[in-house]
Amino acid sequence: MKEELIYSFKGLYRDDFRVKGYEFGSGEKTVCVMGSLRGNEYQQIYACSLLVTELRKLEEKGMITDGHSIMVVPCGNPYSVNIKKRFWSIDNTDINRMFPGYDKGETTQRIAGGIFDRIKDYKYGIQFASFYMPGHFVPQVRMMKTGNENIELAKKFGLPFVVLHKPRPFDTATLNYNWQIWETEAFSIYTSSTEKIDKISARLGVNAVLSFLEKEKIIKYQGFTGYTAKVVESEKFISVRANEAGFLETLARAGDNVIKGQVMARVTDPYTNAELQTITATEDAIVAFEYDSPIAYKNTALFKLIPGRW
């Protein structure tokens, strides 16, 4: 294992900003795995730390195929992690909305540009990603529909779902999208949490990456066999929203199968505890996303459902 400095700049009033990477094997730039780009993505950093441990063991045993190098970048935004702030502390901008970056632009544009310059030439790019809302996802691999996506490759991770996402305008500035535009096979791995470490789903995500590397003959590995992935488009997700604001009691969890009419949550008045809304499943489905907050606000998407029986 070799530790590399991916990008850095001098800090005026605190330690220097440093983005570190860990390289395994040698030869062509085969796989880059990116972890946290936001300050609250603790689960994503943790998953990368588990992957670093596994790859180090495999390298020591000579089980990384000759001619292949693997880079793991656990965190691209250590400043924000240190102060527990999701976005950049000065101007609240999002590094994962700044790719491919600009070396003469604002700070987050420069960071994105500096990182992307080092990781854009890998054959495969894998990002441990998070959703913009607090909550839990059913484990999945997600790809942008750029015309360059490869569904059969995505199935090799062995996660329950492969989700195809039609990019919206702001998605064109994400790492996943720009990796694909620069002809990297790009995948986003969603485990079940962001700000809380879920060891079981983190391990599932790491095993999925190792399984993919083995199937692509990049490593020699035996273990996780995975699921037969089901392909679904994100536009077909059904959002179930709160009609009232109040305390939220969640009864259905990410990954649960629900039937039409099943009670999934209740919203109650914060002052009187009177029930304001009973949230039910609109049809038979699997819960792809479950909102995780004690408070529901009006029109908040409390659940995202994948319709059908699974």
Query: Which distant-in-sequence residues (6+ apart) come within 8 Å of 163 by Cβ?
Result: 140, 141, 142, 143, 232, 233, 234
Smallest Cα–Cα separation from 303: which of 264, 269, 245?
Answer: 264
Of the pLDDT bands very low, low, confident and very high (cuts 50, 70, 90), residue 14 is confident
Strand intervals (E) in the chain: 2-9, 17-25, 28-36, 68-75, 124-128, 135-137, 140-144, 161-165, 185-190, 230-233, 238-241, 246-250, 257-258, 263-268, 275-280, 285-291, 295-296, 301-307
Q: Which domain holds residue 52?
A: 2-233
Give me the count of residues in the chain.
310
Task: Say what the pLDDT of residue 222 is.
Answer: 84
- pLDDT tens digits for range 104-127: 999 999 999 999 999 999 999 999
- Alpha-carbon gap, residue 203 to 83, rounded angstroms: 26
Cα torsion angle, 139, 171, 149, 231, sign: positive
State the total domains in the chain: 2
Residue 33 pLDDT greater than 70, yes or no: yes
Residue 310 pLDDT greater than 70, yes or no: no
Considering 82-86, 194-198, 228-232, 249-253, the range whose residues carry the highest mean pLDDT is 249-253
Shared domain check, 69 and 178: yes
CB of 40 closer than 8 Å to CB of 79: no
Shared domain check, 226 and 242: no
Pairing of strands 275-280, 263-268: antiparallel
Shared domain check, 134 and 98: yes
**Domain end point (choices 185, 208, 233):** 233
Shared domain check, 173 and 51: yes
**Domain end point (choices 233, 257, 288):** 233
Amino acid, res. 295: I
Measured in whole angstroms, the distance separating CA 261 from the mean position of its chain's CA atoms is 31
Shared domain check, 185 and 43: yes
- Alpha-carbon gap, residue 23 to 17, rounded angstroms: 20
Task: Say what the pLDDT of residue 99 is.
Answer: 97
CATH number of the domain bearing residue 56: 3.40.630.10
What global pTM score does this model have? 0.93
Residue 224 pLDDT greater than 80, yes or no: no
Residue 132 pLDDT greater than 90, yes or no: no
Amino acid, res. 137: F
Task: Say what the pLDDT of residue 52 is.
Answer: 98
Task: Say what the pLDDT of residue 89 is.
Answer: 85
- pLDDT tens digits for range 245-278: 999 999 999 999 999 999 999 999 999 999 999 9
Shared domain check, 173 and 100: yes
Pairing of strands 185-190, 140-144: antiparallel
**Domain end point (choices 218, 233, 248):** 233
